[in-house]
């Protein structure tokens, strides 16, 4: 069973309907395998569902994010991007050139566990973004 079908099965097992909007957005994110802005998703979704509005895209993305089928990440400048929730990871973003790097969430897991055991909170956000300078931009800065 491929990823998209696992995702769809999860949604159904939770008793949610697979509306054309939900299905289309999940397919778009699954096929692209990348981070997309709501506008990019809207432009692609419009080809499959000509009547769809941007408001529907936002509403559907919120729903899918709540159900943990889709991950949302802040990438700076107030911009949110979305991707299909397939593997837990976090992001490093260079604040000078904007280059992004994916890191495995395993690296943060023990930190989360530490926070949870010391505060009693249950942390449910993976997909964090860290800002810094990439190696190339560090070199440029040192010239
Ligand atoms: Zn850079
Ligand atoms: Zn990501």
pLDDT per residue of the chain (143 residues) written in tens, 0 to 9: 466 777 788 888 888 888 999 999 999 998 888 889 999 999 999 999 999 999 999 999 999 998 888 999 888 777 889 998 877 888 899 999 988 898 888 888 888 899 999 999 988 777 888 999 999 999 998 76
Tell me which ligand sits closest to the C-alpha of residue 83: 2
pLDDT for 3: 67
Q: How far is the CA of 136 from the centre of ligand 1 (A)?
A: 6
Name the strand (E) or helix (H) holding 93: strand 89-94
Q: How far is the CA of 34 from the centre of ligand 2 (A)?
A: 8
Q: How far is the CA of 143 from the centre of ligand 2 (A)?
A: 32
Residue at token pair 């190696």: 135
Q: Which residues crowd ion ligand 1, with CB under 5 Å? A: 94, 96-97, 99, 134, 137
pTM: predicted TM-score of the whole model, two decimal places: 0.75
- Dihedral over alpha carbons 4, 60, 24, 89 (to 10 degrees): -40
pLDDT for 17: 86
Q: How far apart are CA 43 and CA 15, in angstroms?
A: 29
Q: What is the maximum span of the chain, computed from C-alpha positions, in angstroms?
A: 59
Tell me which ligand sits closest to the C-alpha of residue 95: 1
Q: How far is the CA of 101 from the centre of ligand 1 (A)?
A: 11
Q: How far is the CA of 131 from the centre of ligand 1 (A)?
A: 10
Q: Are 123 and 106 in contact (CB under 8 A)?
A: no
Dihedral sign of CA atoms 119, 122, 126, 129 in order = negative
């Amino acid at each position: 069973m491929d990823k998209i079908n696992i995702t769809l099965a999860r949604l159904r097992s939770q008793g949610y309907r697979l509306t054309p909007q939900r299905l289309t957005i999940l397919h778009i994110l699954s096929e692209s395998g990348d981070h997309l802005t709501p506008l990019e998703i809207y432009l692609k979704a419009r080809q499959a569902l000509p009547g769809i509005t941007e408001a529907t895209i936002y509403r559907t993305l919120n729903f899918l994010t709540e159900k943990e089928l889709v991950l949302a990440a802040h990438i700076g400048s107030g911009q949110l991007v979305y991707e299909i929730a397939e593997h837990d990871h976090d992001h490093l973003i260079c604040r000078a050139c904007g280059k992004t790097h994916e890191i495995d969430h395993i690296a943060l897991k023990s930190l989360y566990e530490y926070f949870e055991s010391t505060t009693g909170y249950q942390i449910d956000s993976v997909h964090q973004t860290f800002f810094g300078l990439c190696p190339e931009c560090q070199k440029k800065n040192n010239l």
